[in-house]
Amino acid sequence: MRFSQRISPPNIRKLQVRGAGGKLRTVFDLRYRVYFTDGTSHRAHTTHKSNAEALGEYTAASAAVARNEYGVTLTRKEKNALAVFTLADAAEEYQRRTAVSQAPTTHDCERLQIVQLLKGFGADTPIADITAEDVRRYIAKRKDKPTAVRHEIGVLGRIFKVCHEMGIVGEKSPVAGIKLPRKPTPEIYYLSADEASAVMHTAESLAKSAPLNLRTYDAMIYPYCVLSIYTGARPCELARMRWYDIDFNNGIVTIRAVKTEQSRVMAWAPAAVYALQWWRQWLKDSERDAKRTAKRGERIADRVDARRRVEQLKAIKSSGLALPCFESPGEKPDLKKALNRVFIAAIGRKERAYIFRHTFATLAVLNGAPANIAQRLLGHSTLAMTTRYTRIKNTPEVAVIEAISQKLGQNWDKNLKSQTNKKARSISESEM
């Protein structure tokens, strides 16, 4: 059994030929080739009176190829084989057709989804016997995995489309009109005020007891946690934050948005300013210690390690990143390990870094942030993303930051703010 697979582009040439009476006339010579599934091909060569007539024939041939009707002659045995064309046969033909056009990863995923379809419907089931009721029963059996079912039914619909092109099934697919299950909206997890305060205090104690080296993220985890909670920035936005984005004098930070392409300027609490000042001083102390060890280290290994640390610190300084990734090539980043150590010590369980953003958003709306201000603080592109957290009230933007600061146990008083700004001016005068 063979079916037309593809057709080559048309080759139309305008020629002058002499007729029977010796008179010249213009004709259009059309040539193209049709390739079949069994590896053979057919070369078509016709002559037409006009270019439109030649294009018309080529269009008709292309439509016949798309319907697998070009030059198809079926024997009685082949017609009987079409009547028992099984789901396994249809899946094999679908994978053969998409093997070249699909990415390898997509092709492998669809192969696993086809395995599930063959288990659910039966590999020997004739493709023409599968009805919409069968599809609904399959969905009901796998209702506990809605995302997987949506992908599997999508593959089944594409298999039926291929079978329709081959003339095995009708135009209407049993998948059409079937209501697919949707994955329920995930519950938003966030830290309570006490848990957030415990995480920050644990991160601070871990950072201040960390050695002056860059082997772990124990030192950087303190400003990372504080900034994440007080700004609600995404982890990717914190990774791109630079020192010139931070205004210590005015107590504001510019967050370069990654998703929405719109940067946002935020006020922040003195605790966040203090954490960044401490981190900046820690980098200076670490560089000073590394240079001293590189010159006066007792062991050769210590001096070599210190020189490597000096090079890393120089690279961090030249990059201008406030919270850099200082892993050596080939090493596995252990920021997640440092976060897990903090979470386990503070609240007794592991959490993702994104929970800081959920905590900021939830505390903001619970403390009276209006919809438009909460949207600007979080950098959401639509208001629907913001309203997932809870109902919102009206409060000025700076008051939202103050409320979060007070909720987390940090006093927003003018004396602390003035002291922090004064210390920030003295530090910002000396360039890092």
pLDDT digits (tens, 9 = 90+) for 25-59: 888 888 888 887 777 777 888 888 888 888 888 88
Output the pLDDT for position 208.
86
Least confident of 30-44, 63-77, 96-110, 301-315: 63-77
DSSP H or E run through 247: strand 246-247
Per-residue pLDDT, 200: 92
Mean pLDDT throughout 100-123? Answer: 86
Query: At a CB cut-off of 8 Å and minimum separation 6, what does 335 contact?
Result: 217, 220, 221, 224, 325, 353
330 Cβ contact list (under 8 Å, min separation 6): none
pLDDT at residue 418 tops 60: no
Helix, strand or coil, per DSSP, at residue 149: helix
Report the distance separating Cα 75 and Cα 4, nearest Å: 16
Overall residue count recorded for the chain in this entry = 432
What is the rounded average pLDDT of the residues 71-95? 68
- Find tokens 């099984």 and name the residue: 86
* 365 part of a folded domain: yes
Residue with more model confidence, 13 or 81: 13
Query: Residues 198, 222: contact at Cβ < 8 Å?
Result: no
Closest C-alpha to 157, from 140, 137, 172, 145: 172
Residue 174 domain-assigned?
A: no
Is the residue at 363 inside a domain? Answer: yes
Residue 178 region, left (φ>0) first, then alpha (ψ -120 to 50), else beta? beta
Confidence of residue 344 (pLDDT cuts 50, 70, 90): very high
CA distance 54 to 324: 65
Q: Do 11 and 63 share a domain, yes or no? A: yes
Domain boundary among 73, 100, 120: 73
Tens of pLDDT, residues 179-193: 888 766 556 678 888
What percentage of the chain reaches a pLDDT higher than 70? 78
The domain spanning residue 281 has which CATH number? Answer: 1.10.443.10
Is the pLDDT higher at 67 or at 222? 222
**Shared-domain flag, residues 236 and 311:** yes
Asked whether residue 259 carries a pLDDT value surpassing 60, the answer given is: yes
pLDDT above 70 (res 146): yes
84 and 17 within one domain: no
Full domain range(s) for residue 233: 193-429
Same domain, 254 and 370: yes
pLDDT for the residue 70: 67
Q: Are 147 and 131 in contact (CB under 8 A)?
A: no
Does residue 173 lie in a domain region?
no
Q: What is the mean pLDDT of residues 381-399?
A: 60
In this predicted structure, what is the pLDDT of residue 416? 45
pLDDT, position 6: 80
Q: What is the CA radius of gyration of the chain?
A: 34
Report the number of distinct structural domains present in the chain: 3
Task: Give me the pLDDT at residue 292, please.
Answer: 85
Q: In the structure encoding, which two tokens stand for residue 165, read together?
A: 């092109």
Q: Which two tokens stand for residue 392?
A: 């919102």
- 389 — pLDDT class (breaks 50, 70, 90): low
Looking at the structure, tell me whether residues 412 and 285 fall in a common domain: yes
CATH of the domain at 83: 1.10.150
Q: Which of 46, 73, 100 is the last residue of a domain?
A: 73
Q: What percent of the chain has a predicted confidence (pLDDT) above 90?
A: 7
Same domain for 366 and 232?
Answer: yes
| Residue at 338 is within a domain | yes
pLDDT of residue 78 exceeding 60: no
pLDDT at 187: 63
pTM over 0.75, yes/no: no
Q: Say yes or no: 237 and 117 in one domain.
A: no
Q: Where are the alpha helices (H) located in 142-192, listed in sequence order? A: 146-165
Least confident of 11-25, 137-151, 301-315, 417-431: 417-431
Whether 408 has a pLDDT exceeding 50, the answer reads yes
- Helix (H), strand (E) at residue 265: strand 264-267
- Identity of the highest mean pLDDT range in 42-56, 133-147, 165-179, 408-422: 133-147
- The pLDDT mean for the chain works out to 78
176 in a structural domain: no
| Same domain (yes/no): 261, 367 | yes
pLDDT digits (tens, 9 = 90+) for 345-373: 999 988 888 889 888 888 887 777 787 88
Cβ neighbourhood burial of 138 (10 Å; 0-12, 13-18, 19+) = buried
Express each pLDDT in 126-142 by its tens digit. 888 888 899 999 999 88
Of 27 and 389, more confident: 27
Residue that finishes a domain, picked among 73, 100, 116: 73
Buried b (16+ CB within 10 A) or exposed e, 362-393: bbbbbbbbbeebbbbbbbbeeeeebeebeebe
Domain-located, residue 184:
no
Angle between helix 221-231 and helix 270-296 axes, rounded to 10 deg: 160
- Looking at residue 343, what is its pLDDT? 92
Mark whether 256 and 150 lie in a shared domain. no
Greatest mean pLDDT among 61-75, 83-97, 208-222, 322-336: 83-97
User: What average pLDDT does range 205-233 have in this prediction?
Assistant: 83
What DSSP letter does each residue of 190-201 carry, written as one string? ---HHHHHHHHH
Rounded to the nearest 10 degrees, how much is the dihedral formed by the CA atoms of 396, 400, 403, 408? -170
Amino acid at 86: T
And the tokens for 63?
């439509």
Residues 228 and 214 in one domain: yes
Percent helix, percent strand, percent coil in the chain, to nearest 5: 55, 10, 35
Both 279 and 419 in one domain: the answer is yes
Higher-confidence residue of 274 and 187: namely 274
The mean pLDDT value for 191-196 works out to 88
Closest CA to 255 of 230, 279, 225: 230
Residues 306-342: tens digit of each pLDDT: 888 888 788 878 888 888 865 544 444 577 888 888 9
187 lies in a domain? Answer: no
Same domain, 145 and 20: no
